Structure 1
């Protein structure tokens, strides 16, 4: 099955941070319109190839079963049942919910630990999916990896899907939630800081919080997180820039209007699928190939339950994100203001851990690694790591959780009191 398979070779650049460059110039700009034309052409070609190969397999399978047509119908019924049958995704590791607000919950994975270590707080992705990706399965859990590194005081925020009551949620509201989570995580300990871990969109939110409150952050770990939104070539970035040049924010406002003030999670999901339709086709053909493999079917179902179960994003927050980050790239340009304060990445001098995916077409490694060019962290306190595989694999893939996250968390543990007598 393809949902959680990672292939390639890991590149470890531990300790090889970029030189201190708070005023780093932008990378050479790319023509987003030209990139989109190429991307769409490649996407169409890949989708066509996947359709042809998938159709050939289905035809071959049907011909092989021609003598027993009832078997073909039986397999088709089973296949459709798995494709269409979705369940709400669940968390895998025992934990407790400390508090809940209309926009987020705080989940505590400390399991009554009293170890005197700096608490670790995870900010999951927030892109129309459930936050349980950080505790995806019993053997695929960031939260377990964090605890196994000795960082036993482990917490994660869990983003609540938007409703009519929360459609006007702002970036300031989310920063306030993170601040409350930091207060909770450090309460009753001698520590006043946390190890902040941000995945994807949780990464840029982590960076913003850390820049506004550097005194509250012991270490900052960013995985698949767009910090320089215009670095590298991505369909999301190119599309947002081309769209904004031609129509401003009108198309995004139209989608939010269709969601009655929220960005529908289904729209976000459709966008992800449109970027890799060949992967979507191959995934379902692969299911047909493995219909009699119970373990493979279970993996398919677990992934689809998470991937296809969407939740809405607050409209006001989404439109702010499009204007100021995806289009404006204000975080690295030093023009971003939150709560009346300028967000200055140069205020950060804590140890910085950066993880990118070699084949990540949503957030290429350069967008993550550029963070090192704008913080004040010394070069020998910056760790960069390139993992095999794509975007989602960074957070729940077997290879990433076995090979990439443990050494990062072990380095975090060294500066968090783990092992101190």
Structure 2
């Protein structure tokens, strides 16, 4: 079983990273028997994994038997392939920006690049589920931050979540809301605008929603992409596994993982869960790498994605266990019973323009979980925009399809709400 979180690999631009079978994405209510759903899902995943293993073995054998492939060439290719598979580097940010402030749990990065445009500032809250926040600036020309700027939202900022340590393992939801508020206050003071455009990707989406409900006067627009707002809508392997475990064992399995990490949820555990969800994708991308050993561009794409995906960072244990109890299990955000810092989080306090983006084959956060936000806020219907991008989860944030065709019109619409007068 996988730990609850909100990322997975389905980025078409990386070799072997394919979107899940659309039949795996359900839009109806969760199954009454999540254990049966999981058995069926994992059986299908095992079959897909075995199929990819068979394809890979067949390709390796045919490659070895080709007349042009000498034993020496095969040996060199094998060594090179292993170096590429195992040789990971720390992922990095790519486009010009500066770090404005840094706390033990987050940094604020300013991508305004000297802009003084009179436009409401835009603050991105990236995913926070065991990977680096640089997903929002994945490549020089594959960057959510640059798409935001190109839409006219030139006063662009993003938080950058710092991996948890033992010193920060007890960070709470209140600590994360506080650091968002500090970032918002910086954006407001440096641009002279009273409110910011909040953009929340995945986990950053429910955090942005909580903040917007607590501080609606500081939020100009709210954009949510691949963000689980109604955690119980639709059926997903992560949702089903969390329901099974909490029904049978309460929080014991999650507490055990946090204890094993010395107070943090190890990013390596999260990564293992992602791979277990789609073992066929993990196998396919490495076989595809072997097919493209003579293609420098394909290798560069593979390395860029693997550097980001395999470089994990830990999540604060207290924060993680709160997430499991109150959101994954309790679904308290849409139930209207969530409390943060002694205050009830009421989504009806949100009335700003709302922009929602889901992935058609996203089986981590199906569109129904994102679009549910519109049913719980006070935003007028004519100020709610819904878009469905082809593809899966991570492709919403780093995929060329979404960055070229889905984000630009959304951000252009946000920009229309961001100029004075």
User: Could you state the TM-score of these two structures normalised by the residue count of structure 2?
Assistant: 0.93
1:256 corresponds to:
258
SS state of the match for residue 222, structure 1?
strand
**Alignment match of 1:344 (pick from 321, 336, 346):** 346
Q: Which residue of 1 aligns with 2:296?
A: 294
Q: Does structure 2 conserve the Cα–Cα contact (< 8 Å) formed by 1:94 and 1:109?
A: yes
Distance 1:85 1:272 in 2: 20
Stretch moving more, 62-71 or 152-161: 62-71
Match of 2:360 in 1: 358
Query: Does the residue aligned with 2:323 lie in a helix, a strand or coil?
Result: helix
Are positions 1:180 and 2:182 aligned together? yes
SS of structure 1 residue aligned to 2:167: coil
Structure 1 pair 209–74 and aligned structure 2 pair: CA distance change class (3 A):
same
1:189, distance to aligned residue in structure 2 (A)? 3.0
Return the alpha-carbon distance in structure 2 between the equivalents of residues 119 and 403 of structure 1. Answer: 22
Which one of 195, 198, 201 corresponds to residue 197 of structure 2?
Answer: 195
Aligned residues: 402
Q: Which residue of 2 aligns with 1:105?
A: 107
Partner of 2:23: none
> What are the equivalent positions in structure 2 for 1:44-193 lying under 5 Å apart?
44-64=46-66, 68-193=70-195
- Is the 1:336–1:342 Cα contact (8 Å) retained in structure 2? yes
CA contact 1:3–1:300 (8 Å) conserved in 2: no
**8 A Cα contact 2:11 2:394, kept in partner:** no
Please point out which of 208, 212, 215 is paired with 1:213.
215
**CA distance in structure 2 between the aligned counterparts of 1:54 and 1:87, rounded to whole angstroms:** 26
Superposed CA offset, 1:192-237 (max 9, x none):
1000000000000000000111111000000000000011111111
Partner residue in 2 for 1:237? 239
CA distance in 1, matches of 2:355, 2:190: 27
Answer yes or no: is the 8 Å Cα contact 2:28–2:235 preserved in 1: no
Q: How far, CA to CA, are the matches of 2:170 and 2:199 in structure 1? A: 26
| Alpha carbons 1:149, 1:413 under 8 Å: kept | yes
Q: Which residue of 2 aligns with 1:12?
A: none
Within the alignment, does 1:246 sit opposite 2:239 as a pair?
A: no
Q: 1:188: Cα distance to partner?
A: 3.4
Report if aligned partners of 2:18, 2:281 keep a CA contact under 8 Å in 1. Answer: no
- Are 2:63 and 2:69, in contact at CA under 8 Å, matched by a contact in 1? no
Find the aligned partners of 1:375 and 1:277 in 2 and give their Cα distance: 38
Query: 2:40 aligned to 33, 38, 41, which one?
Result: 38
| Large movers: runs of 4+ above 3 Å | 2-8, 26-29
Inter-CA distance 222–3: structure 2 relative to 1 (3 Å threshold): closer
Q: CA deviation at 1:4?
A: 3.5
Instruction: Confirm or deny that 1:401 pairs with 2:406.
Output: no
**CA-to-aligned-CA distance 1:213-264 (integer Å, 9 cap, x gap):** 1111000000000000011111111100100000000000000011000000
CA distance in 1, matches of 2:206, 2:80: 42
Cα distance, 1:399 vs. partner? 0.5
Shift of 1:182: 0.3
Partners in 2 of 1:54 and 1:216 — Cα distance?
53
Contact 2:127 2:133 in 1 (8 A): yes
Give the match's secondary structure for 2:197.
strand
Who is 2:7 aligned against?
A: none
Residue 45 to residue 340, structure 1, CA distance change in 2 (3 Å): same
Equivalent position of 1:389 in the other structure: 391
Q: Which runs of 5+ in 2 are unaligned?
A: 1-9, 20-26
Greater alpha carbon shift after TM alignment, 48-57 vs 161-170: 48-57
Considering only aligned residues, what root-mean-square deviation do their CA atoms show, in Å? 1.7
What's the offset of the Cα at 1:66? 7.6
Q: Distance in 1 between matches of 2:350 and 2:51?
A: 47
Q: Retained in 2: the 8 A contact 1:119–1:186?
A: yes
- Give the C-alpha shift of residue 65 in structure 1: 5.0
